Amino acid sequence: MQIFSPRPDALVFDFDGTIADTRQLIITSYREAFAKVALDCPDDETIGATIGIPLASAFRVLTGQDGELIDRAVRAYQDIYRRHGYGMVQAFPGMIGLVRGCAAAGYRMAIGSSRSGESLRGMADHLGIAGCFELILSRDDVSHEKPHPEMLQLAAGRLGVEPDSLLMIGDTSFDIEMGSAAGARTVAVSWGNHTREQLEAVAPTCVVDSVDQLQAVLGVGEAVPAG
């Protein structure tokens, strides 16, 4: 398994599908939102393929429509999502320990997510890992959505490093394409929302299939237990 050399100056983690298993909450919220605005709901696989881009963009892709209907769908989704709360959100097994292990190993770390800032920080707090990250960036911080490199360029600027010294870790082709566009190295994790085939198609630096493999490529010792 590859260990990155030189060591990255900072790690940038996607959140949904990489650190946290939010898929069921997202799909449930989409189903209820489609019903609320009286539209036919796509199947779970089609919905899942849009996870990783901002909500309004996802609804445009899923409906082929724009304008006021999309605004209503987004509001319905957000209301439903808040009603369900964070109870359906869990970290993937081993990921909290890995994040804490990376922090203990001296890695500087950021989150780069298409989620709203309020939701992202709330979920990171819920999982008990917000304090591990020097920087938490959401869709509210950028003008361009993934896979545009703006989020990684912003992360590099705020951390005082070069974009090509970052390592982007994510579960979707959007994450990997963003990393490549910024000149960063990339790790695709196959346990999230895009398949291994989709990830390999965008040529990440490497693909990992387990948290143990991710720990190995980062050169981190024993993960710090959650709790």
Q: Are residues 94 and 108 in the same domain?
A: yes
Q: Does position 223 have pLDDT exceeding 60, yes or no?
A: no
Q: Are residues 67 and 106 in the same domain?
A: no
**213: alpha, beta or left, given left = phi > 0 and alpha = psi -120 to 50?**
alpha
SS3 15: coil
Q: Are residues 112 and 153 in the same domain?
A: yes
Q: Does position 156 have pLDDT exceeding 90, yes or no?
A: yes
Q: pLDDT-based confidence at 222, cuts 50/70/90?
A: low
**Span 161-208, pLDDT tens digits:** 999 999 999 999 999 999 999 999 999 999 999 999 999 999 999 999
The predicted pLDDT at position 195 comes to: 94
d(CA 19, CA 214): 12
Q: Does position 88 have pLDDT exceeding 90, yes or no?
A: no
d(CA 208, CA 191): 9
Q: In whole angstroms, how large is the CA radius of gyration of the chain?
A: 17
99-138 b/e (C-beta count within 10 Å ≥ 16 → b): bbbbbeeebbbbbbbbbbeebbbbbbebbebeebbebbbb
Q: Does position 155 have pLDDT exceeding 90, yes or no?
A: yes
Q: Are residues 139 and 203 in the same domain?
A: yes
Q: What is the mean pLDDT of the chain?
A: 93
Residue 205: burial class (beta carbons within 10 Å; 0-12, 13-18, 19+):
middle
Q: pLDDT-based confidence at 3, cuts 50/70/90?
A: confident
**Span 22-34, pLDDT tens digits:** 999 999 999 999 9
* Overall domain count for the chain: 2
Domain contains 227: no
Residue 170: burial class (beta carbons within 10 Å; 0-12, 13-18, 19+):
buried
Q: Are residues 100 and 205 in the same domain?
A: yes
d(CA 80, CA 77): 5
Domain contains 68: yes
Largest CA distance in the chain: 53
CATH number at residue 55: 1.10.150.240
d(CA 27, CA 22): 9
Q: Does position 225 have pLDDT exceeding 90, yes or no?
A: no
Q: List the domain range (segments joined by +) for residue 29.
A: 23-87
Q: Are residues 101 and 74 in the same domain?
A: no
Q: Pick the residue with more confidence: 8 or 1?
A: 8
The predicted pLDDT at position 86 comes to: 83
Residue among 125, 154, 115, 109 nearest 9 (CA) = 109
Q: Does position 124 have pLDDT exceeding 70, yes or no?
A: yes
**Containing H/E element for 104?**
helix 95-104
Q: Are residues 62 and 103 in the same domain?
A: no
Domain final residue, candidates 87, 115, 140: 87
Percent above pLDDT 70 for the chain? 96
